[in-house]
Structure 1
Amino acid sequence: MDAQLPDVAAGRRFYGALFGWEFEQREPSYGRSVLARLDGEPVAALTPKTDGRMPTVWTVYFAAPDPAPLTGRVLAGGGQIVAPAAGVGGLGTAVLAADPEGAVFGLWQPAGRAGFGRRHEPGAFGWAQLYTRDTEAANAFYGSLFHDALFGPDARPDFGRAPVADVFPAEMPPHFLVHFVVERAGEALDAAVALGGRVQVPPFETSYGTVGVVVDDQGASFAVLER
């Protein structure tokens, strides 16, 4: 996953203080993006926005050994390709897509970077929740893309779907919300506010833990997850 931010240096200060991340400046061929590490292992990236009209957001990427057939299925299922396949240095190939309701997600064909070095522990990825208006339609669309990963016998509990109105105002557009594991959700929210963020949704209980939704000091939303 990565965050597209107006000010990457400010993002380093915010997320470094909140999650204890350290940052590795990539080679010049990768632009001005930086890789975030936790105890030396990659957990996320911060990327500068190239167009001020673009939203300030966190994006989750699904691993795709070959994105070409998935791209075809995105279109066949009523979705859109937001940004076609593009190489990211020697790390891999990325595609940005949107589902039929407009929620944006990425596809990632790994080369030099397979994905998370750490997850399901404090300061690292813990869950991706799709907030949608039609969960049955979402299951059909994403099931056509990632059936075995989501619904198969070896499915991993990393991705859920829920109606937007369960947590957000009904007019909120469908979207993905990335969750970072923390030891105590309330303390993490207080720390985010002290760093210039704001609480979008106070802590609430879910089947996968206690969740609070935060907007960082540049406008990107994410969640903290206490298990």
Structure 2
Amino acid sequence: MAVQPEGTPCWADAMFSDVEGAKSFYGDVLGWTFGESSSEYGNYTQAYKDGKAVAAVVPPMPGAEGQSAWCLYFASPDAAAAAQKIRDNGGTVLMEPMQVGDFGTMALAAEPSGAVFGVWQAGVHEGFEATSVPGAYAWAEVFTRVPEKTDAFLPAVFPFTAKQMDHDDFDFRVFNVGEDTVLGRMRMTDDFPPEVPSYVNVYFAVDDCDAAVAKATGRGAVLRFGPMGSPFGRFAALSDPQGALFSVIDLDTTEGDMPKLTDVS
């Protein structure tokens, strides 16, 4: 896949205290295989599905040990300029842009409600080599308690246009890059325990949502929501054995009508 347009989700990785455990879990649940760890880059280890790079796992940096979490990276032609936009619009730059050999340049940040994300300026590593096929990245949503801040921030940093879903039961918005819908935003309700911070929820595609949930929970994951049918696919939210939140979705099993979306000026 070529370098993605600015603002498009282009890569995902996660830090795990038990990297071998994470490899075993995701290898079983998502069918991943793994490359050699790169000691030069903190034992960063790429995950593959059918020979195509789909994600990576890495041990935590010293002093950064804690609950594991998936991090989604958005494509940018200029990570330094993106970092400045993040600061200028109420976000926090957690790690200044850093060149990673000839692979590219990365930065880590948090949007105003606290959800952490990454910025990736591609070098030889352009990002996902496959998406929306079983075992690969499929979708992501920002879960936030203060959507008005998130909704102002995202189009100020990335070239997004927004559409609001017309629904009485929940507050959901999508963001587009050109004609492509690339990201969702969900208001966190009181159903979420107060200790759960804003976060980016990453979805991985699977052949069979229910089978993936059974396999994941059998390996020590906790089912947080679902499985549930939707016009977009049958999905479920989980936390893996090390606490990282993620979702699985069967994109081919859909039900119901597509919701109406209204342009947001």
Alignment TM-score > 0.5, same fold? yes
Q: Is residue 148–residue 155 contact of structure 1 (8 Å, CA) maintained in 2?
A: no
SS in 2 for 1:223: strand
Query: Within 1, Cα distance between the matches of 2:33 and 2:76?
Result: 27
Q: Is residue 154–residue 160 contact of structure 2 (8 Å, CA) maintained in 1?
A: no
Gaps of 5+ in 1: none
Q: Which residue in the other structure is 1:29 paired with?
A: 40
Q: Which residue in the other structure is 2:17 paired with?
A: 6
SS in 2 for 1:186: helix
Q: 2:58 aligns with which of 47, 65, 81?
A: 47
CA RMSD of aligned residues (A): 1.9
Q: 2:148 aligns with which of 133, 136, 143?
A: 136
* Amino acid paired to 2:42: G
Query: Within 1, Cα distance between the matches of 2:184 and 2:160?
Result: 14
The reply on whether 1:107 has 2:119 as its aligned counterpart is yes
Residue 128 of structure 1 and its aligned partner are, at CA, apart by 0.8
Q: Which residue in the other structure is 1:19 paired with?
A: 30
The reply on whether 1:118 has 2:142 as its aligned counterpart is no
Residue 214 of structure 1 and its aligned partner are, at CA, apart by 1.0
* Amino acid paired to 2:60: K
The reply on whether 1:72 has 2:96 as its aligned counterpart is no
SS in 2 for 1:158: strand
Query: TM (normalized to structure 2)?
Result: 0.80
Q: Is residue 167–residue 201 contact of structure 1 (8 Å, CA) maintained in 2?
A: no
Gaps of 5+ in 2: 1-11, 163-174, 252-265
Residue 205 of structure 1 and its aligned partner are, at CA, apart by 4.0
SS in 2 for 1:127: strand
Q: Which residue in the other structure is 1:182 paired with?
A: 206
* Amino acid paired to 2:91: G
The reply on whether 1:204 has 2:216 as its aligned counterpart is no
Q: 1:98 aligns with which of 99, 107, 110?
A: 110
* Amino acid paired to 2:215: A
Query: Within 2, Cα distance between the matches of 1:121 and 1:14?
Result: 19
Instruction: Describe the shift of the 1:118–1:12 C-alpha distance in structure 2 as closer, same or farther (beyond 3 A).
Output: same
Residue 148 of structure 1 and its aligned partner are, at CA, apart by 4.1
Between structure 1 and structure 2, the one with the greater Rg is 2
Q: Which residue in the other structure is 1:222 paired with?
A: 246
Mapping for residues 76-87 of structure 1, pairs under 5 Å: 76-87=88-99
Q: Which residue in the other structure is 2:259 paired with?
A: none
Q: Is residue 8–residue 33 contact of structure 1 (8 Å, CA) maintained in 2?
A: no
Q: Is residue 45–residue 56 contact of structure 2 (8 Å, CA) maintained in 1?
A: yes
Q: Is residue 136–residue 205 contact of structure 2 (8 Å, CA) maintained in 1?
A: yes
Residue 183 of structure 1 and its aligned partner are, at CA, apart by 1.9
Query: Within 1, Cα distance between the matches of 2:207 and 2:194?
Result: 30
Query: Within 2, Cα distance between the matches of 1:29 and 1:199?
Result: 36
Q: Is residue 78–residue 100 contact of structure 1 (8 Å, CA) maintained in 2?
A: yes
Bigger shift: 123-132 or 149-158?
A: 149-158
Q: Is residue 128–residue 178 contact of structure 1 (8 Å, CA) maintained in 2?
A: yes
Residue 153 of structure 1 and its aligned partner are, at CA, apart by 6.8
Q: Which residue in the other structure is 1:57 paired with?
A: 69
Bigger shift: 155-164 or 109-118?
A: 155-164
* Amino acid paired to 2:93: I
Residue 166 of structure 1 and its aligned partner are, at CA, apart by 7.8
Query: TM (normalized to structure 1)?
Result: 0.92
Q: Is residue 149–residue 155 contact of structure 1 (8 Å, CA) maintained in 2?
A: no
The number of residue pairs the alignment matches comes to 227
Query: Within 2, Cα distance between the matches of 1:185 and 1:69?
Result: 39
- Between the two proteins, what is the percent identity of the paired residues? 34
